[in-house]
């Protein structure tokens, strides 16, 4: 599992946009989010950098990846 700290994620609409962005890289990815903590967890075999790029291209800056 990969965890991203994502700036600007404030509602379920944001979670949906991030989920769609991640699934453009890996359609089978499982995404969960903690909106108050601005944390997104992704279960995927895709390259973490590709996932990060997709999230950022959707308009959500990634502060860290773990």
| CATH number of residue 29's parent domain | 3.30.70.100
Question: What is the per-residue pLDDT for 48?
Answer: 97
Question: What is the per-residue pLDDT for 10?
Answer: 94
Phi, psi for 50 (deg, rounded to 5): -65, -40
How confident is the model over 12-24, as a mean pLDDT?
Answer: 97
How confident is the model over 25-35, as a mean pLDDT?
Answer: 98
| Distance from C-alpha of 25 to C-alpha of 7, rounded to nearest angstrom | 20
CA pseudo-torsion sign 36, 32, 62, 19: negative
Half-sphere exposure of 57 (CA within 13 A, CB side): 13
- Please count the residues of the chain: 66
Question: What is the per-residue pLDDT for 13?
Answer: 96
How confident is the model over 41-59, as a mean pLDDT?
Answer: 98
Structure-token match 């990846």, residue found = 65
Domain count, the chain: 1
How confident is the model over 50-55, as a mean pLDDT?
Answer: 98
Six-digit token string for 41: 């967890």
Q: Which domain holds residue 40?
A: 2-65
What pTM was computed for the model? 0.93
């Amino acid at each position: 599992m990969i965890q991203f700290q994502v700036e600007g994620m404030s509602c379920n609409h944001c979670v949906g946009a991030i989920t769609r962005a991640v699934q453009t890289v890996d359609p089978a990815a499982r995404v969960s989010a903690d909106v108050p903590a601005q944390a997104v967890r992704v279960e995927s075999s895709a390259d973490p950098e590709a996932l990060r790029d997709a999230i950022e291209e959707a308009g959500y800056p990634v502060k860290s990846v773990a």
